[in-house]
Every structure is written in C-alpha cells, then in structure tokens.
Amino acid sequence: MRWSSGADSSDVEDRRGETGGGGGFGGGGLRLGLGGFVVLLVLSLLFRRNLFTLLDSGAAGGVPTTVVGDSVVSTPREDTLVQFVTFVLDTAQATWTELLAQQGTQYQHAHLVLFRDGINSACGFAETASGPFYCPGDNKVYIDLGFYDELRDRFGAPGEFAEAYVLAHELGHHVQWLLGTEQRAHSGGNDASVRLELQADCYAGVWGHEAGREGIVEPRDLQDGLTAAAAVGDDRLQRMATGHVNPESFTHGTSRERMAWFKRGFDTGRLDACNTFTGSVDIGD
C-alpha cells in the first residue's frame, strides 16, 4: 500500500490511556469481534448452549465507569499503526461520502476509538478479546491496535492491506447502518448475520477498488486482503478452536464465501454488486 503519515483526524479518539470498568454487555447491538467470536464459540460448544444470544440480552450489570489515565505511552509500532489506521479511516470515509452521494444518501462520519484492555461503548463494556467491532449505538468503530499482531501471528494474515481490510469491514457495518440494512436484518438469526458480514466484506472490497484507482492499493496487495478474509471464516475459526466445523452455528460465513464477496467488491467497485440478501451466499471462486 502507498500511504502517507502525518494525518490528524477529528474522527479518531485515542483512548488508550483510559481504564475502563463497570457493567457487562448491554443492549445496543454490539457486533462481536474476531477474538470474542472464538471465545464464545468454545464456551457455547462446551456448555451446549448458544451463548451468542447473550449479546442481545440487554442485561447490563451496573453503570459503566471510565477513569481517564495519564498520557498515552506508545511504542514505535503503535505510533505507525495510529498513523496508518487514521489514513485508512479518512480515505475510506471520503470514498463512502462520494459513493453514497451518488445514490442520494448523505454519509455521516463514524469515529474510530483506539483502546487497550477494555473500553466502555454505547453497546456495553468490551475487552480486547472482543476484537474490533462496530457499535451502532454511537456510530463508532473500536479497536485495540494489539489485535493486528494477533491477526498476523495467530491468524496468519500479515500485511498492511490485511490490516486495512479489518477496519474497512467494520466501516462496512456503518454503511449498512446508514442504509438501514442492519436494522432490517437484525432479528433474522444466523442466516441474516452471515449475509450482513459478507456484505460488509464486499463493502470493504468496494473501498479497496476505489483505493486502487487512487493508487493507494496496488494489485499485489489484493492477496493480503484475501488472506485476511479467509483467515476469519467461520469454518477455519471453528477448526482452530475445536477441531470441528458446525455449519448451523455460522455467523460470519466460510473462508471461501468471505474471500469471494470481498473480491466481488474489489473487482466491481459497486454497491449493487454487494447484495448478499438475494440467492445463495456461495458465489464460487
């Protein structure tokens, strides 16, 4: 990827110096991140109960509190990542402003919240294990930058475009919220969840297509994005966690499906190519 440092965006909230505390997950539609998915999957299989339903139970325990700590102590690696995610956020939101305007919809900027260990959001309290997530309750994307090391080392998806894909996917959920797609599909069960996630993958690809036209993303970067999409497929994560695959519990789509929809967005650059709610989600290679 070709990107420049030095950006200072008002859409980025650096809350790495805060200490979060207080209640558990409440209502508001917290979208589970990669790490949290693996944890809940293992527990669900152990206790033979669908613990994913707890995310929408609305049972928050107590009033969340936040203590603001000292100034952020950051490593050179984190400093670079802050600049990188700021650049990706700004370029992606510029892309969506233009694309949605073409169909008569005004884009509203999301905020990106950087945190460590735990964070309070309008969707409840989340820990690093939850992975990156989008909260429709406050229109913010939350990420612990340490997740990118996990993406590289644990999930085997290195590269800057793999990192950009994660953020672009979560912004895809923001676009769904602005268009009303997520609200309409919210109570549709696992099938609707899979279709939402695959559409967010496709939207991430749409941004990648536009970034390619602008010379930010190069053709050689595509494979890093595809590797990241495949790394977080339900079937692969289930094999990593338990050694078995249970299609009935899929919530995000298989590696094959996630790669295919991401590539469709990347190849076409069109929102209308990302309709995952009609027909089969398995669109082949």
pLDDT tens, the chain, 285 aa long: 999 887 778 999 999 988 654 333 233 445 555 555 555 555 454 444 444 444 443 333 333 333 334 477 889 999 999 999 999 999 999 999 999 999 999 999 999 999 999 999 999 998 888 789 999 999 999 999 999 999 999 999 999 999 999 999 999 999 999 999 988 887 778 999 999 999 999 999 999 999 999 999 999 999 999 999 999 999 999 998 899 999 888 999 999 999 999 999 999 999 999 999 998 888 865
Q: What is the per-residue DSSP string for 205-272?
A: HHHHHHHHHTTSS-GGGHHHHHHHHHHT-HHHHHHHHHS---GGG-SS--HHHHHHHHHHHHHH--GG
Nearest residue to 113 via CA among 105, 122, 104: 122
Backbone angles phi, psi at 166, to 5 degrees: -60, -50
Q: What is the dihedral sign for C-alpha 80, 141, 146, 34?
A: negative
Strands 12-14 and 111-114: parallel
> 25: which strand partners?
124
What is the maximum alpha-carbon separation in the chain?
A: 52
Query: CB–CB of 143/132 below 8 Å?
Result: yes
Query: CB–CB of 110/90 below 8 Å?
Result: no
Packed helices 255-268 and 222-231: angle between N→C axes, nearest 10 degrees: 150
Q: What residues contact residue 82 under an 8 Å CB cut-off, 6+ apart?
A: 12, 14, 74, 114, 145
Structure tokens at 110: 């999301």
* CB-facing half-sphere around the CA of 53: CA atoms within 13 A: 7
Nearest residue to 8 via CA among 125, 66, 87, 63: 87
> 127: which strand partners?
118
